[in-house]
Amino acid sequence: MNWLAHTLLSKKNIEYQLGNVLADPMKGKVWKDANDHLKQGMKMHKAIDKFTDQHQLISASKKRLGEDGHLKGVVLDLLYDHFLSINWSQFCRWELDTYLAYFNGAANQAASFYPPKPQQIVKRMVESNLLGRYRTFVELLTALERIDLRLSDRAKKKETASQYIDAIESQYTALENDFMVFFPELIQVFKTHPLGSATYHYLY
């Protein structure tokens, strides 16, 4: 869900970036004729997720959101993309609007050669401005409400994404502090990983 972070934690190559993004919705499966950059991006996605899932600050952030729930990880993904958006200038050489405009244009062009499923995923991502949706707190809350709309009535009785809004509001500063310590560590994982790059990226 935190696709903005995955595009940034990538080599300066649109195929690599799209591989990093498509790893989840494509369940890590590549298609015939997919290029090596895309395959590397998918593998980098797994490395990022592995580091993230095992990190104590992620556990701390989840605890700040309250009781355990299946949607807590999804909510935290969106929240961390929100924090990345509002602190963007501390991590990326490009202004956020410029970055998103370039990425969306390049993604559309690259995906025009993909099979139907990944092509549609990229098309929806670009047309909905998915990467730029979480900049304000209101936009974040709207995104959580959109998740609830996709839940079945049975699932809503157990848990909703919007039930975490009160915890986010009360723990907002602490959660942002968690992110601001965690994300630089994650950047170093990308820069030092065999499939990452120390220099060929959009990061500082």
Cα–Cα dist 1/24, whole Å: 8
Three-state DSSP class for 120? Answer: helix
Span 4-19, average pLDDT: 98
Amino acid at 128: S
Three-state DSSP class for 79? Answer: helix
Q: What is the CA radius of gyration of the chain?
A: 17
Considering the chain, what percentage of its residues have pLDDT values greater than 90? 97
Span 184-200, average pLDDT: 98
**Helix 137-149 vs helix 72-86: crossing angle, to nearest 10:** 150
68: pLDDT strictly greater than 80? no
Span 25-48, average pLDDT: 96
In tens, the pLDDT along 123-168 reads: 999 999 999 999 999 999 999 999 999 999 999 999 999 999 999 9
pTM of the complete model: 0.96
Q: Would you say 62 and 158 are in contact if contact means Cβ atoms under 8 Å apart?
A: no
End-to-end CA distance of the chain: 24
